[in-house]
Chains A and B, each alone.
Chain A
Amino acid sequence: MKILIPIKRVNDYNVKVRPNQANTDVDLNNVKMAMNPFCEIAVEEAIRLKEAGKADEIVVVTIGDDKHQEQLRTALALGADRAILVKTDNPVQPLDVAKVLAKVYAAENPNLVIMGKVGIDGDHNQTGQMFAALTGLPQATFASEINVDGNKVEVTREIDGGLETLSAEMPAVITTDLRLNEPRYASLPNIMKAKRKPLEEMDLESLGVTIDEKVSTLKVESPPERQEGVKVETVDQLVDKLRNEAKVI
């Protein structure tokens, strides 16, 4: 079984990102970049399937400029077998990404596609579902457990009221939620070995996908700050404030 893992390069999740001076975009100058945490979970799950003897090849793919090689090398160091960089210097939106991935999917023919449910930058939560739509594949989003059995995959999904389990025919698209697994760290020998693993580059234009900015960003601002309130000394005071001042109980 072959697994395709699309990944995204984003800000390190520990960094608080702020608007730039002109309020036209976020300021990512000197911000540490990393693999999107949900994508790390996707890579980890694929490696575990391979370790369990259920998968034999893991291909990672991302879209962007040369710097995106870093995240592909990280995935290779973790255990992916080969990587594809679809090169473009232009920003891409989820629908564009889904179209590019559909082309890569057609060329690679994987049995399973596992990807993060959301990028922690744009907070779109769209790409997996859009990719599944364009390829006509079944989708199982927000996975907290994945069991491959023959040509079917059973996925437990985190939904608002609790958990839901779906069974999908493969090939299928799965997006990962936080509790699916805890990703490992790459060891130094594996980081060295990853440098010799194959990383193929192709131009986005050569795939026949046209990028158009259907949604543009006019302004990026900080959210309104909340005023710090008062400290109360006792539970009685608290109850009194809630009853008589805030009038919320």
Chain B
Amino acid sequence: MKTLVLAEHNDTSLSAATLSVVEAAKQLGREVDLLLTHNSCTSVLEEAKSVEGVSKVLNFSHEKFSSEVAEDVAACVVSVSAEYDFFLASSSTSGKNNLPRVAALLDIQQISEVTDIIDEKTFKKPIYAGSCIATVQSSQEKNALTIRTTSFDKVPNSGGSASVEDKEVPEPDTRKSDFVKNELTVSDRPELTSADIVISGGRGMQNGDNFALLEAVAGKLNAAVGASRAAVDSGFVPNDYQVGQTGKSVAPNLYIAVGISGAIQHLAGMKDSKTIVAINKDEEAPIFKVADYGLVADLFEALPELESKL
């Protein structure tokens, strides 16, 4: 039996999250295949073939995959499921949307947000927003896992030489739900969950315009820009900036929290970062309890100075 990884991409390249899921898949000690649904995205297929550690790419190319609908992806996975005893996806919104649908169709109780693979049936995962870590054991023959990608290294997307198997898309003409439109945030910055450096702003930023101060520092560091839930709820920035329990989990080499008090729900999304910096004018702010370097300062003075010194 083998392990199947659901690949994610943006029509031009594979998602970095997929490279972390392949690393997790390798730890299960079986052959790893990649399932790719796309609409004639040649560059993605080429990249998928080159991912280190992948034996075969199951190639589901069809017009309808110019957008992704969970029902279609799940049908593709189920159509090849007999050969696999592990089904892995990342804990991105795509993986969270698709994999439980697959799991239910295969009568599998999925295990979500796996941070550690202890053996092929035993896993660690955060519960209660990261307040506790559970070690869970599956008694199932087949298992479905979403992978917390910040807990696994990325395999290189080069050096591999997987074979490609073209697959028929099941029921290509039926669709009960259909894609209408996307409104994606356009940014020159790296993607939040895969960036080496993340700089986030909280309620202390006071308004959305002031995020330009963070952008300026981010530009110097090639960092992604994030935000706390308080900043999102106040309407400073869109929800896809949100780092925390209800937003994204990040674990960059450097995380700079600016004007963020450090609510439990924010810490849940960033406390695995390698180095944490906190800039806050309130020296009692709980964020300082998790920060490697704390600077008690007015962010409106500290940020321009920081930018000028980088």
Of A67-75, A79-87, A157-165, which binds chain B?
A157-165
Query: In the assembly, what is the distance between CA of A66 and CA of B105, in Å?
Result: 31
User: Which 4 residue pairs of A and B lie closest in terms of their CB atoms, listed nearest first?
Assistant: A138-B177, A130-B104, A129-B100, A229-B292
Is A184 an interface residue, CB under 8 A from the partner?
A: no
Could you mark each residue 81-121 of chain A with 1 if its beta carbon is under 8 Å from any beta carbon of chain B, else 0?
A: 00000000000011100100000000000000000000011
Is the Cβ of A228 less than 8 Å from the Cβ of B290?
yes
Could you mark each residue 238-249 of chain A with 1 if its beta carbon is under 8 Å from any beta carbon of chain B, else 0?
A: 110110001011
Is A232 an interface residue, CB under 8 A from the partner?
A: yes
Is B96 an interface residue, CB under 8 A from the partner?
A: yes
Instruction: Output the least CB separation between B241 and chain A (Å).
Output: 10
Is A216 an interface residue, CB under 8 A from the partner?
A: yes
Query: In the assembly, what is the distance between CA of A93 and CA of B134, in Å?
Result: 15
Nearest A residue to B91, CB-CB: A125
Could you mark each residue 111-153 of chain A with 1 if its beta carbon is under 8 Å from any beta carbon of chain B, else 0?
A: 0000000001111111111111110011111101000000000
Is the Cβ of B135 less than 8 Å from the Cβ of A249?
no
Is A214 an interface residue, CB under 8 A from the partner?
A: yes
Query: In the assembly, what is the distance between CA of A139 and CA of B175, in Å?
Result: 11
Q: Which of A121, A128, A158 has the most CB of B within 10 A?
A: A158
Is the Cβ of A217 less than 8 Å from the Cβ of B292?
no
B104 interface neighbour in A129, A167, A220, Cβ under 8 Å: A129
Query: In the assembly, what is the distance between CA of A200 and CA of B185, in Å?
Result: 46
Instruction: Output the least CB separation between A111 and chain B (Å).
Output: 14
Nearest A residue to B183, CB-CB: A163
Nearest A residue to B290, CB-CB: A226
Is A204 an interface residue, CB under 8 A from the partner?
A: no
Could you mark each residue 264-299 of chain B with 1 if its beta carbon is under 8 Å from any beta carbon of chain A, else 0?
A: 100000010011110000010000111111111100
Could you mark each residue 75-112 of chain B with 1 if its beta carbon is under 8 Å from any beta carbon of chain A, else 0?
A: 00000000000000000111011111111110111111
11-53 of chain A: CB within 8 A of chain B: 11, 16-19, 26
Number of B interface residues in the complex (CB < 8 A):
85
26 A-B residue pairings within 8 Å (CB atoms): A18-B131, A133-B104, A138-B69, A138-B176, A141-B96, A144-B239, A158-B239, A158-B240, A159-B240, A160-B93, A160-B240, A161-B184, A164-B182, A165-B183, A166-B179, A220-B133, A221-B133, A222-B132, A226-B271, A229-B294, A231-B294, A234-B295, A235-B305, A239-B306, A249-B221, A249-B310
Please, which residues of chain A bring their CB within 8 A of the CB of B10?
161
Is the Cβ of B288 less than 8 Å from the Cβ of A231?
yes
* A interface residue numbers (CB < 8 A to B): 11, 16-19, 26, 93-95, 98, 120-134, 137-142, 144, 154, 157-169, 172, 177-179, 213-223, 226, 228-236, 238-239, 241-242, 246, 248-249
Please, which residues of chain B bring their CB within 8 A of the CB of A233?
295
Instruction: Output the least CB separation between A76 and chain B (Å).
Output: 27
Query: In the assembly, what is the distance between CA of A126 and CA of B104, in Å?
Result: 9
Of B36-44, B52-60, B121-129, which binds chain A?
B121-129
Is B253 an interface residue, CB under 8 A from the partner?
A: yes
Q: A163-B183, A228-B288, A229-B292 are in contact. Are A133 and B74 (CB under 8 A)?
A: yes
Is B23 an interface residue, CB under 8 A from the partner?
A: no
Q: A169-B177, A241-B293 are in contact. Are A162 and B185 (CB under 8 A)?
A: yes
B132 interface neighbour in A17, A93, A179, A215, Cβ under 8 Å: A17
Instruction: Output the least CB separation between A180 and chain B (Å).
Output: 11
Is the Cβ of B290 less than 8 Å from the Cβ of A217?
no
Please, which residues of chain B bring their CB within 8 A of the CB of A232?
293-295
Please, which residues of chain A bring their CB within 8 A of the CB of B131?
16-18, 222-223
Is the Cβ of B110 less than 8 Å from the Cβ of A124?
yes
Is the Cβ of B180 less than 8 Å from the Cβ of A17?
no
Nearest B residue to A129, CB-CB: B100
Is B254 an interface residue, CB under 8 A from the partner?
A: yes
Is the Cβ of B179 less than 8 Å from the Cβ of A164?
yes
Is B29 an interface residue, CB under 8 A from the partner?
A: no
Q: A228-B290, A242-B275 are in contact. Are A95 and B309 (CB under 8 A)?
A: no
Please, which residues of chain A bring their CB within 8 A of the CB of B96?
125, 129, 141-142
Nearest A residue to B297, CB-CB: A235
Query: In the assembly, what is the distance between CA of A11 and CA of B245, in Å?
Result: 15
Could you mark each residue 240-255 of chain B with 1 if its beta carbon is under 8 Å from any beta carbon of chain A, else 0?
A: 1000011010000110
Beyond A137-B176, A142-B93, 14 additional pairs, beta carbon < 8 A = A94-B110, A120-B129, A126-B110, A129-B96, A129-B104, A133-B102, A139-B70, A160-B92, A161-B185, A214-B109, A221-B132, A221-B133, A238-B277, A248-B275
